[in-house]
Structure 1
């Protein structure tokens, strides 16, 4: 039986949730994305814009409808149809970028790493909402939440990083399998994209939180290389601006395919963008946000 979605704002973080503080902070600095925790015994919302992550992973009609949204948006905004594999790539990006934050932001802010299998997450992309059913989470021995139901205590920071890598992989792997055939990618190419979504979503939030450097440091520790299935490292590096200022950048492990719509307007972290163009783009962005 289909369950009618609650009205916007009807779901609220649980007062006793070990993750609520992180999701509240997310909404404060990035109002375009809200995470709502489903109460015990409640079903994930459906209908009225909601899409279940497990149904996207299944690769059927709900995935087709999800990708159709991207096809319509590209045609409307750019006046041309995107290639089917490009549209599917955009669709995965627009799900995976916020989905990674469900795990990485509580880790960064609270030192707590939740597990969200795909059947525990729903997404309303039009309203910028994700609904989750919080279950187990990993934390350190001195965490005040270590005695809460669902807590799994791990011995140290590296063990907690192992939990982050495992939790993100657990959530994304079924989705990569669902989106992959439509994207005409597999294996390393898909995990390269997953690596980029993990890094760039938290990096962006670090900037909003005023903690960009700490985020970059933690991501470098999280992805030092040889952490399969992820591809490469966090890949941060520093360029020098025209006034001698430091300009952080990174080299993506995958291509987002935006160049197929606007070849002259590649992303600043795109492997196709040379350092001279990166400096120009980064200094222009800094000037407009100053």
Structure 2
């Protein structure tokens, strides 16, 4: 399905400080491979800049997803393919930024030209992300402070603002390219961007062994008034009846999975339910 996608120019630069960061965090997360630069075999890789420059390729991505949905669910509603691809694409810059911020307190370049991803098979979701620029923002006590690759900011709040701004800039490019091709409004697309950033920071802590730290990161990055995002972090604790407190969140956007013919109902965190969930629920598929 992905044959014919254009692949971004390889980020070949020398292996350096950000490459070392990616290698370290790659062993602490299980959701996707993170790497610096593109591999020699680029058959299943596409550059974010190339995809945004030729938005008709989103139609081909959705067509491949529709084939997979039909095989699995015997149905492929238009809004479901639009919702899946919306979340999957935004997850690329959101996941790599959240993971590096949580584990390394570094924020890479999130420009579309500096990111690429690999399609999984047969379900065509991103399963690997490549960072193509060696530059990053960091804190004053980072060992890399003072090197050509590093831009030093004053403190964690400033670093969180860099992450938020870089992700928002990438999301804005996506909204501009994707919204004319789907029956989803701009608010829905920005709601999805909010969900991705909030969930990615939370999950970086959860999968990295310190869920509470991930929750704190989400609150730091997505505080009140974090425009253009549609809300602050919606993470909240759920006291365990006989065990430890767990965490859940209210999603801002809908993935439209419930429209499938073999419908399994709305996700427990779906905004369509019109209530805050009382227990941890499924995130977007």
Would you say the 8 A contact 2:202–2:214 is kept in 1? yes
Would you say the 8 A contact 1:44–1:133 is kept in 2? no
SS of equivalent residue, structure 1 residue 164? helix
Q: Which segment is superposed worse, 268-277 or 99-108?
A: 268-277
2-side partners of 1:45 and 1:92: how far apart?
28
Alignment of 1:69 with 2:64, yes or no, is yes
Alignment of 1:210 with 2:209, yes or no, is yes
Alignment of 1:238 with 2:237, yes or no, is yes
Alignment of 1:266 with 2:261, yes or no, is no
Partner of 1:195: 194
SS of equivalent residue, structure 1 residue 225? coil
Q: Which has the higher helix share?
A: 1
Q: Structure 2 vs 1, CA of residues 206 and 271 (structure 1 numbering), >3 Å: closer, same or farther?
A: same
Structure 1 unaligned blocks of 5 or more: 6-10, 286-290
Q: Structure 2 vs 1, CA of residues 65 and 46 (structure 1 numbering), >3 Å: closer, same or farther?
A: farther
Structure 2 unaligned blocks of 5 or more: 122-126
Q: Structure 2 vs 1, CA of residues 244 and 105 (structure 1 numbering), >3 Å: closer, same or farther?
A: closer
Alpha-carbon distance, 1:68 to partner = 1.8
Partner of 1:251: 250
Query: For each residue in 1:173-203, what CA deviation from the matched residue of structure 2 results, as whole angstroms up to 9, or x when unmatched?
Result: 2112222223322332211110101111232
Q: Which segment is superposed worse, 23-32 or 161-170?
A: 23-32
Query: For each residue in 1:203-249, what CA deviation from the matched residue of structure 2 results, as whole angstroms up to 9, or x when unmatched?
Result: 22321111111110111121112111111111112234443642311
SS of equivalent residue, structure 2 residue 169? helix
SS of equivalent residue, structure 1 residue 146? coil
Partner of 1:129: 128
Q: Structure 2 vs 1, CA of residues 270 and 62 (structure 1 numbering), >3 Å: closer, same or farther?
A: same
1-side partners of 2:177 and 2:6: how far apart?
25
1-side partners of 2:277 and 2:263: how far apart?
13
2-side partners of 1:13 and 1:214: how far apart?
33
Alpha-carbon distance, 1:107 to partner = 1.4
State TM-score, norm by structure 1.
0.81
Alpha-carbon distance, 1:154 to partner = 1.2
Partner of 1:109: 103
Q: Figure out how many residues of one structure are paired with residues of the other and give that number.
A: 271
CA RMSD, Structure 1 to Structure 2 (Å): 3.1
Superposition pairs of residues 132-151 of structure 1, within 5 angstroms: 132-151=131-150
Q: Structure 2 vs 1, CA of residues 203 and 53 (structure 1 numbering), >3 Å: closer, same or farther?
A: same
